[in-house]
Structure 1
Amino acid sequence: MEPVLFYGIPHGCSFGSIVALEWLGQPYRLSRVDMLAKEAGYAHINPTMQTPALMLEDGSVLTESLAILHHIAARDLSRGIGFAQGTRAFDELNAMLSYLHTSVHGAFGMVWNSFKQPEGSPEAAMLRMLGRDSTAQVLANLEAHLADRAWLVGVQATIADAYFAAIVRWAEDLQLFDLPREYPAVDRLLRKLEADPAMVFAHAIEDETPAQSAGGFRGHVTLDTLLPRLAA
């Protein structure tokens, strides 16, 4: 069977890996994971219960967006969504993707964690305040980076841009900022990406609305079907 991406809803960062797979254009399948339901069987795929996870053709599983996105890009470097390891371009891409995966994701994570506290509690308020301050800083850094660039790295959209779209949208989900006014360059890139057919497809997948793949999507497969394929 083709590689299978386990993606999380609602609005998981795994959105970026769906986009990357669409850009790659090779056959793949998807498996939907409700992150709020915490389905016990998913622990056999990823003991941390996080998404994304990518089951490869041999039944082994790769976890963490950073690793998965590089793996997807390396399947066909001619697509231009990633670069050969050992090159300057790869180093720049890896640095940006690492920043998104750690600093940017982590800043938003504090705000998301505020919802795990009792509503109206001092703990919830503190986490949201700290998270908003941290998110403001990382978005300011991205704003400065994008001042004279059309894309995060290089001359076309890469896996870094796919992941950027997956997590920066949380600024709107969490009602933290007015992106067009406060971070216009960040907003400009996000809007450009949102118009990409791969992004439109990924949104439709998340929303369970009719989705037209421009890549190699071969359908959904259930977790129960996949568990016997796990490599020993």
Structure 2
Amino acid sequence: MEPVLFYGVPQGCSFGSIVALEWLGLPYRLCRITHDTPKDLFAQFNPVRQTPVLLLENGTALTESAAILQHLANRVPERRLGFAQGTPEHDRLNETLAYLNTTFFSAFAPLWASYDMEKNPPVQEMLRAMGREKVAKAHKELEAMMARREWLVGNTRTIADAYFIGIARWATFHGVAEPRAYPRIHAHIQRLEADPAVIFAHAIEEERPATSSGGFKGHVALEDLRSRLAA
């Protein structure tokens, strides 16, 4: 069977891995992970119980977005979603992925944490205020980084752009980071949102009819994948 990507809903950062798979045209399947997914079973594939997870053909489970995206890009180097190890472009890609995976991603952490504080309104509001400040700072930094770039890592799209669109949408979800304040980021998001792979990924998450322009072969249940997991 083809590799299987475990993706999380709602609003999972695994969204970017779906986009990358579509851009690459690789044959793949998807496994949907929700709050109702049996945690003990999912832990057999990823002990930290987070998505994304890419189950490879040999039964190895690869975790963490940056590792999965680099793995996928290296499978089809001619698509140039990544770069050869040791090149300046590869270094810049790693630099950008690291920034997105730490500073940009973590800026939203207080906003997500605030949902668990409904019974403590003062703490909830403190977390929301902290999140708004952190997200604004991260957007300001990224806006400056994009001053001389058409895409996040230069003049061609890469796995960094796929990962970015999966987490950039959180600003709208939380109602923070006024788009007009960051015109370069806003324009980049608008371009990505019009991309067929991104439209497909949204439809998959929302369980609407979805037309793949890549190699999507359908969904598979988590229970049916246990036998594929390497010892």
TM-score, length basis structure 1: 0.96
Distance in 1, matches of 2:139 and 2:37, equals 30
Specify the SS of the correspondent of 2:108.
helix
Counterpart contact for 1:38–1:49, Cα < 8 Å: no
| 1:37 Cα deviation from its structure 2 partner | 2.7
Partner residue, 1:47: 47
Distance in 2, matches of 1:93 and 1:148, equals 15
Distance in 1, matches of 2:2 and 2:223, equals 16
* Letter of the structure 2 residue corresponding to residue 231 of structure 1: A
| 1:119 Cα deviation from its structure 2 partner | 4.4
| 1:189 Cα deviation from its structure 2 partner | 0.2
1:71-86 superposed matches below 5 A: 71-86=71-86
Question: Please, which moves more after superposition, 111-120 or 196-205?
Answer: 111-120
Q: Does 1:106 align with 2:106?
A: yes
Counterpart contact for 2:196–2:213, Cα < 8 Å: yes
Q: Does 1:87 align with 2:90?
A: no
Distance 1:38-1:29 versus aligned 2 partners, 3 A rule: closer
Distance in 2, matches of 1:156 and 1:197, equals 17
Distance in 1, matches of 2:43 and 2:124, equals 28
Corresponding residue pairs, total: 230
Distance in 2, matches of 1:123 and 1:17, equals 34
Partner residue, 1:140: 140
Identity %: 54
Counterpart contact for 2:135–2:177, Cα < 8 Å: no
Counterpart contact for 2:4–2:30, Cα < 8 Å: yes
Q: Does 1:150 align with 2:164?
A: no
Gaps of 5+ in 1: none
Distance in 1, matches of 2:182 and 2:226, equals 43
Q: Output one character per residue of 1:131-171: Cα deviation in whole Å (capped at 9) or x when no partner.
A: 11111111101111122321001221110001110001100
Partner residue, 1:127: 127
TM-score, length basis structure 2: 0.97
| 1:54 Cα deviation from its structure 2 partner | 0.4
Counterpart contact for 2:16–2:163, Cα < 8 Å: yes
* Letter of the structure 1 residue corresponding to residue 14 of structure 2: S
Q: Does 1:56 align with 2:56?
A: yes
* Letter of the structure 2 residue corresponding to residue 163 of structure 1: Y
